[in-house]
């Protein structure tokens, strides 16, 4: 398999971390959606990452859809999420909040970095959404005594939030306050201490245009 995208993207990184946790071999092509957009477009007409090219040449897009396939590939005993029921719904909700956090953090960065004149309304909206998600995730995580979000082992919810927190902290240092969200700060540190997170990582590199 071939994973396309740079690891400073929280969405590419969550797929890469999952692949490592599954022990699935893959080739990594760290293509930028800016500098390498034409290369990405050969596999994904949206010119977005992550894109995962399967062994037969089929290209999967969007991190959630990619991880759904990988869970099916490794089987229910190894999948990083419950098969169904309330446990799956709750994990998917945390995943959605984590990826939503990443999406808003990306949007806020682009608004500030790529526009000569920024929209105060849009900037404030993104900042409000980010803080709201962080508050919700903080309350949820702080209420749990287990090492990981839903028990003793890591799952997709942990990975999604961990990757989003790393990106948010690097792209917006003044936004993520560890003192305000201590449970999330501890969660991020726990994730970053794992070998797959140490291996699948890249310092945030703003696009050149």
Q: Check if the beta carbon of residue 162 is closer than 8 Å to that of residue 187.
A: yes
User: Within 10 A of 96 (CB to CB), how many other CB atoms are there?
Assistant: 14
Q: Check if the beta carbon of residue 94 is closer than 8 Å to that of residue 162.
A: no
Give the span between the Cα atoms of 35 and 45, in whole angstroms.
Answer: 15
pLDDT tens, position by position, 96-110: 999 999 999 998 888
Q: Check if the beta carbon of residue 103 is closer than 8 Å to that of residue 63.
A: no
Mean pLDDT, residues 43-62 taken together: 97
**Cα separations (Å) of 67 from 13, 56, 71, 132?**
12, 17, 6, 26
- The token duo for 35 is 């500098």
User: Within 10 A of 14 (CB to CB), how many other CB atoms are there?
Assistant: 28
**Strand duo 2-4 + 27-29: pairing:** parallel
Q: Would the pTM count as exceeding 0.75?
A: yes
pLDDT tens, position by position, 64-86: 999 999 999 999 999 999 999 99
The alpha-helical segments, DSSP class H, found in 54-119 are 63-74, 85-114
Q: What is the Rg, in whole angstroms, of the alpha carbon atoms belonging to the chain?
A: 17
pLDDT above 90 covers what percent of the chain?
83
**Residue 114's pLDDT is what?**
67
**Residue 112's pLDDT is what?**
74
pLDDT over 80 at 116, yes or no: no
Give the span between the Cα atoms of 36 and 41, in whole angstroms.
Answer: 9
Strands, DSSP E only, in the chain? Answer: 2-4, 27-29, 51-53, 59-61
């Amino acid at each position: 398999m071939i994973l396309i995208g740079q690891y400073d993207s929280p969405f590419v990184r969550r797929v890469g971390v999952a692949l490592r946790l599954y022990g699935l071999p893959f080739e990594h092509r760290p293509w930028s959606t800016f500098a390498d957009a034409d290369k990405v477009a050969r596999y994904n007409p949206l010119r977005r990452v992550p894109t995962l090219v399967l062994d037969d040449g089929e290209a999967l897009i969007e991190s959630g859809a990619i991880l759904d396939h990988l869970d099916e590939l490794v089987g229910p005993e190894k999948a990083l999420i419950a098969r169904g029921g309330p446990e799956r719904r709750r994990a998917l909700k945390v995943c959605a909040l984590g990826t939503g956090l990443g999406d808003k953090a990306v949007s806020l960065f682009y608004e500030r970095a790529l526009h000569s004149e920024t929209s105060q309304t849009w900037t404030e909206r993104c900042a409000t959404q980010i803080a709201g998600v962080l508050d919700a995730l903080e309350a949820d995580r702080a209420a749990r005594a287990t090492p990981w979000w839903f028990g003793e082992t890591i799952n997709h919810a942990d990975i999604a939030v961990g990757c989003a927190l790393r990106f948010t902290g690097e792209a917006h240092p003044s936004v993520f306050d560890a003192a305000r969200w201590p449970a999330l700060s501890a969660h991020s540190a726990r994730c970053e201490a794992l070998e797959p997170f140490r291996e699948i990582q890249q310092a945030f590199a703003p696009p050149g245009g």
